[in-house]
Structure 1
Amino acid sequence: MKLSTPRYTCCLFFQILFMLCDLLFNCLSLFPRTRDGLLVIFIFQDLFLILSITTMLMTFFSTYLFQAGLVEVLIRKFRAAAAVCVAYVAASVTLHTVWLLEKWTEHDSISTPMLIFLFTVQRCLSPCYYFFYKRAALRISDPRFYEDIDWINQQLQTH
């Protein structure tokens, strides 16, 4: 049985769109010459990160498991994706804050070791974030999360 509701298709479309926007802003953040341009890019990137996490949470909240109070099954199935998403958002916000603070104090400053470290961590986490986020978005479409009582009972008995 395949879940093909228009609502889920719309959510999946926006999840992929928000993920692509984040990738685009990661690329664009290397090019602005002014600190105001950098600020605008970072605001939009953080906005799309918040929207992507919110959309993912909405799909979790709409599952039968969540509505029946069986949140531990969802947590068990998606804890890796949640951990990577939280780490990526934290790394992105930290990088944006340090980068903007550095650009605001000295406009033509050369990057500090701290900024280079944060940049490297954020860029190394981004492929993991894209992989786990897309994987979670596709896995949550499994119809068993929405209606299969036998599968849910089996999941509860195994753990």
Structure 2
Amino acid sequence: MKLSTPRYTFCLFSQLIFMFCDLIFNCISLFPKSRDGLLVLFIFQDLFLILSVTLMLMTFFSTYLFQAGLVEVLIRKFRAAGSVIAAYMVISVTLHAVWLLEKWSYPESVSTPLLIVLFTLQRCLSPWYYFFYKRAALRVSDPRFYEDIDWINRQLQTH
């Protein structure tokens, strides 16, 4: 199944929207003072993260490489992006869980060292996530992933 231009355009547009929503949620996460506001914000942010990764995986699954069982070529080409995306998701979900647990246990507390470390890690990793996610979304649109048998043979011969 070849990824058609309108379908790919829709996928790419959706991925960019999900990434933009994550950026917006990161920006406004400091403002809610209530636990309920933070809970709703974090639920939506994590939902958009899951949807963006699901859409990226669906795009990978539609490549000729994946359908032909040549997953190692895809893994080699997108290893860095996959690592950064996975790390960002783990750090984000961990930050959200710790932040909410702290808000529920100690509503008046400002922060703990663990929360500060997680917050700093998540904020430092987010530009890398945006860069690698967008780059992977654009690179997977290469028509060679969908039809160029000669290119695939060259990729298999190099490793």
TM-score by length of 2: 0.97
User: How far did residue 33 of structure 1 move?
Assistant: 1.1
**1:111 to partner: Cα distance:** 0.4
The gaps in structure 2 that reach 5 residues or longer are none
Shift of residue 145, structure 1, vs aligned partner: 0.2
Partner of residue 101, structure 2: 101
* AA at the equivalent of 2:119: F
TM-superposition CA deviations, 1:86-140 (whole Å, max 9, x none): 0000000000000000000111112001100000000000000000000000000
The residue that corresponds to 1:21 in the other structure is 21
Counterpart CA distance in 1 for 2:111 and 2:63 is 46
Whole-angstrom distance in 2 between the partners of 1:47 and 1:108: 28
Structure 1 partner of 2:66 = 66
Q: Distance in 1 between matches of 2:90 and 2:33?
A: 25
- Displacement of 1:28 in angstroms is 1.0
Shift of 1:52: 0.2
Q: How many residues align?
A: 157
The aligned residue for residue 133 of structure 1 is 133
For residues 15 and 58 of structure 1, what CA distance do their matches in structure 2 show?
Answer: 11
The letter of the residue matching 2:141 is S
In the TM superposition, what whole-angstrom CA distance separates every residue of 1:6-29 from its partner, at most 9, and x where no partner exists? 100000000000000000000110
Match of 1:153 in 2: 153
State the AA in 2 paired with 1:44.
F
Displacement after TM superposition at 1:4 (Å):
5.9
Q: For the residues of structure 2 that align with 1:102 and 1:57, how far apart are their CA atoms?
A: 33
Distance 1:138 1:8 in 2: 10
TM-score of the two chains, using structure 1 as the length reference = 0.97
Q: Deviations over 1:56-115 (max 9, x none)?
A: 000000000000000000000000000000000000000000000000011111200110
User: Partner letter of residue 112 of structure 1?
Assistant: T
2:88 matched to which residue of 1? Answer: 88
Which deviations, in whole Å up to 9, do the C-alpha atoms of 1:37-69 show, x marking residues without a partner?
000000000000000000000000000000000
Unmatched 5+ stretches in structure 1: none
**Counterparts of 2:69 and 2:144 in 1: how far apart (Å)?**
15
Q: Which residue of 1 aligns with 2:36?
A: 36
